Structure formats: structure tokens, C-alpha cells
Amino acid sequence: MFDQLMEALNMVLQWQNFFWALFGVTFGIIMGAIPGLSDNMAIVLLLPFTYYLGPIPGIAMLMGLSKGANFGGSIPAILFNIPGTPQAMITTFDGYPLAKSGKSGKALKTALFASVTADTASDLVLIFLAAPVASVALRIGPPEYSMILLFSLVIISLAASGSPCRGLIATCLGLLLSTVGCDPEMGTPRFNFGFIELAEGIGIMPMAIGLLAFSEVLLQAESWYRDRRSGKKLEEVRLSTRGTDADRLTPAEMKQCLPTIARSTLIGSFVGIVPGIGTTVGAYLSYIWSKKKSKHPEMFGKGALEGIAASEAGNNAVNGPNLVPLVTLGIPGNLAAALILGGFMIKGLIPGPQFMESNAPLLYALFIVLLISNLYTFVVGGAFIRCARKLVSIPKPVLFSVVPMFCLIGSYVNNSSLFDIWLMLVFGVLGYALTKLRISLPTMIVAFFLGSLLEHKMRQSLLISRGDWTVFLDRHIACAFLLLTVAIILLYIVRHGFGQKKQA
């Protein structure tokens, strides 16, 4: 192993690797910071460039992109309440309130600190646990998978802020939307209402852009108009003054956030190892769990540093372990990993069970580059935070005009289809309406992500068992998660009844 490590170091210590990793991180932060664009779009745009690069610089650039965009999405989430990427939407819960109270610098630095710490820790998880974890992942079959997903859905329903009834409505709306397209087994059209463009289901980009970015523009434009008419001082983010406590993350605050970051890293790593669940769920589950464990849960949603740390650590901690199924089994964990798999294949490398044995030095070299990319994220992210002042000084009318333009571009580039733009508009109006009804959009989006996977795995399980529902009881891991789900529902009803959750 020592010889392989030495060979890996030899492969890494070339200027091209450092340069392209830095380029990837920088481009990723920029793409992530612009609402309507995303890490996936950034990877798609730069994937063709990997033809001209060696395997390590090419893959390093793509991985740097993913890391940079994960942090970049938190910048507009904190400053404008508009997440730059879907996984940054949880950061808006505490990031924006903290920025409005004049502590934008503290909020952004907390996000950066949590992102880099969790990303580094999860990369170490990838490096040391890839092989043993792959053997556990092999034992998770469709019944276990579906019960883990059902458990996740119940958790996010009950923990949705304000009301479990609204949480359940949001979850079921997300599940219904995930059934649009075609039946996963029969392949027959379902809920596409004659639109051929919906044959593959609702695109995640138009949906996420509409619900998160465009609806936010409508809401902010409305409150801006109302405040202007009433003569009320516009509620804007007050930039923190440089050098003050409001602009810094003190060592005491870093220490305060560490337990939250550690907890969120564990949750994000677990979520990342299981293919298909994704960064958004990692962020949400980390946030919910941290709120439960916090000494001051009442501060969550009002600008708690732990809230920002939990969300950012949760979504960044998914990155490293997401590559575990990719490099060990050849199964991409999410869209970004699938695109990175494309990058591997362009270079003639086929990830899978034999990959670790036959390409160990290359794999170790990539792991080293991952750690270097985290350092770049810290440095480049810190520089971007200083430029964030310029973003906040942009007049609101300019933002309200430019963001819809980016929403249009972001919806269109995926499929080059005008239908996606109309779909984005529909979801924008739906997001506006659901926000007015106080129904949680993040819950709905997470349920949408998980819904199609849940249906697919449940029906696979029933096919394997020939329609016998006891398959979920016969398998130990599946049964454990099912009992846990029922126990949580019963516990919740006993403690809270069916009423609104009491706000502390």
C-alpha cells in the first residue's frame, strides 16, 4: 500500500492537477452562486473539456466543480433568501434571518467553515471506508431501500415546521408529482395529460427553479411593493461591518458549531453512501436532527449558527461518500456522480468492483486531489465572501429583473425546450401559492426526489416476493426501519396529538 501511495503522490504532484482543480472549484462557486444555474449544469458544461485533459486533471476539475457549487449555492441563499442550488434551500432558514440582522459576514463564514470541514471529513470517510462500506451496501436490497426511504419521508413530514398536517400534505404532493411520467415497470404513460414532454416525468431543474427561485422573486417583489407603498423602510440585508464581531466567526462560535458539524457529517455520509438519496435530503435530515439535539431549538429558523452549520455540513458531507458506490460498484449516487462517471468513461476508466484493485494508485491520487480541492474551496470561498458586499449593494429592482432571466436560462438549457420554461412558470406560481398556505416547499421537493425511488424499490420488492407484503417483515434491516417508522409516528401522536406544534 505504501508503494501505491508513493505512486499516487508522484501522479498528483504536477501543476496541471493543481490548476484544473482550482479552476473547477472557482467555476463551481460562480455557477452555484447564480440562482437558476447549478452544479449539475456546471459539470455538463465542462464535461467536454475533459477530452483534452489527462484522467487526473479532468476528474479533479469535475469534482472541484461539485464541491465549489455546493458552497456557492449558500451565498445567495444567505444574502437574498434565494438558494443558488436546490441543496442550499435549507441554508435559507437561518442564513437569511441572520444576514437581515446585520451578520451576513458571520453567516457566510459559518457556511464556509461548515462546508469545508464536513467535506474534508467525508472525503476521509471515502478514503478509509470505501472497501468495507461497499460490502455493506451490497446487502441493501429493494426491501431495505424502500423502508429506509419511507422512514426518511415520515421524518421530514413530521419535522416540517409549523404543522405535521401541512408537512404530510407537502410530502404527499411531492409523491404525487413524482408519479408523473411513465410507470416504472410497465413503461406506460401516466399523468402526462397528453404532453409528450412529460414522458420522462417532471424535470427537476424547471421544478426546483420555479418553486425556489421564481416563486421567491414573486414573494419578494410583492413585499417590496407593499413596503414601498406604505413608506416602510425596506427590509434588506444589512451588511456586516468588516472587522466587527458581526463579520467574523469567532473561535468560540466555531467550537460551538463543531458538534453540529460532526453530527451532520455522520448523517450526510450515511445519506451519501446510499445511492439516489442526494445532497438535499442530507441537508434536511441534518438540520432536523441538529434542531432536535440543540440546547436552543427555538433559535432555529431565526438565525441560529448551528442551523447554517447543520445544513451546509449535511449537504457537503454527502459529496465524498457519494463516490463510494461509484468507484466500488460503478453505481452513481446522484446526477453529479453520474456525470463524473461519464468523465471516467471518457478517459477509458470503468469504475466497478475491479477498479480499486487494478487502478489503486490512480484512485489514491484522486482522493488526494479531493482533499486539495477542499483547501481551494476555503481560499476561493473566502475571497468570494469579500465580494459578496458587491452583490448586496445591487438594487432590488435589478435583482427582480435579472433573476427571472437566469430562471428562464436555467430551465431551458437542460432539454432546450420551451415547455420546461412554461413548467418552471407553473411551479413558480404553485410555489407562491403553497408558501402563502404555509406548506413547506423543501419538504415537497425532497418527497419528489424520493418518491419515484420509493415506488420503484417497493414494486421491485413485491416482484421479488411475488406480491407477498411480508417481505418487508422478513428482512431484518427492512423490518427494523419499518418498526422505527411506526414507532416515530405513534410517539409523535402521543406527545403532540394532531394539533399544531407548540412554538417554544
Partner 1 sequence: MNNDRWIGLGFLILCALMWIVIIPGQTEGADEAFVPRLAVIGLAVPSLIMLVRRPPSVTPLNFDPGTFVRSTLPVLGLFIAYIVGVSFVGFYVSTACFLVLSLLLFGERRAKH
Where along the sequence are the contacts to partner 1 (CB under 8 A)? 164-166, 168-169, 171-173, 175-176, 179, 183, 185-186, 188, 190-193, 217-218, 221-222, 224-226, 228, 395-398, 400-402, 404-405, 408, 418, 421-422, 425, 429, 432, 436-438, 451, 454-455, 458-459, 498-500
Contact 114, 313 (CB under 8 A): yes
> In angstroms, how far is CA 377 from the centroid of its own chain?
17
In angstroms, what is the minimal distance from the CB of 230 to partner 1?
10
In angstroms, what is the minimal distance from the CB of 482 to partner 1?
15
Residue 439 is given by DSSP the state -
Our CB check for partner 1 shows the closer of 389 and 396 to be 396
In angstroms, what is the minimal distance from the CB of 451 to partner 1?
8
Residue 237 is given by DSSP the state P
In angstroms, what is the minimal distance from the CB of 449 to partner 1?
15
In angstroms, what is the minimal distance from the CB of 473 to partner 1?
19
Name the 3-class secondary structure at 399. helix
Cα–Cα distance measured from residue 143 to residue 459, given in angstroms and rounded to the nearest whole number = 9
In angstroms, what is the minimal distance from the CB of 154 to partner 1?
10
Phi, psi of 181, rounded to the nearest 5 degrees? 130, -110
In angstroms, what is the minimal distance from the CB of 95 to partner 1?
21
Our CB check for partner 1 shows the closer of 19 and 225 to be 225
Residue by residue, DSSP assigns 315-373 as HHTTHHHHHHHHHHHS--SSHHHHHHHHHHHHTT---STTHHHHTHHHHHHHHHHHHHH
In angstroms, what is the minimal distance from the CB of 220 to partner 1?
10
Our CB check for partner 1 shows the closer of 107 and 177 to be 177
Instruction: List all residues 6 or more positions away from 26 whose beta carbon is below 8 Å from its beta carbon.
Output: 68, 376, 380
In angstroms, what is the minimal distance from the CB of 253 to partner 1?
33
Residue 502 is given by DSSP the state P
Our CB check for partner 1 shows the closer of 256 and 415 to be 415
Cα–Cα distance measured from residue 264 to residue 52, given in angstroms and rounded to the nearest whole number = 38
Q: Sign (positive/negative) of CA torsion 137, 139, 142, 147?
A: negative
Q: How many residues does the chain have?
A: 504
In angstroms, what is the minimal distance from the CB of 489 to partner 1?
12
What cell was used for 301?
429558523
Q: What is the phi-psi region of residue 240: left when phi exceeds 0, alpha when psi lies from -120 to 50, beta otherwise? A: beta
Q: What is the phi-psi region of residue 439: left when phi exceeds 0, alpha when psi lies from -120 to 50, beta otherwise? A: beta
Our CB check for partner 1 shows the closer of 287 and 432 to be 432
Name the 3-class secondary structure at 482. helix
Cα–Cα distance measured from residue 440 to residue 219, given in angstroms and rounded to the nearest whole number = 15
> In angstroms, how far is CA 87 from the centroid of its own chain?
3
Our CB check for partner 1 shows the closer of 341 and 408 to be 408
Contact 407, 397 (CB under 8 A): no
Contact 381, 69 (CB under 8 A): no
Our CB check for partner 1 shows the closer of 170 and 249 to be 170
Our CB check for partner 1 shows the closer of 426 and 484 to be 426
In angstroms, what is the minimal distance from the CB of 421 to partner 1?
5
Our CB check for partner 1 shows the closer of 1 and 494 to be 494
Our CB check for partner 1 shows the closer of 70 and 178 to be 178
Question: In whole angstroms, how large is the CA radius of gyration of the chain?
Answer: 22
Our CB check for partner 1 shows the closer of 48 and 395 to be 395
Cα–Cα distance measured from residue 288 to residue 297, given in angstroms and rounded to the nearest whole number = 10
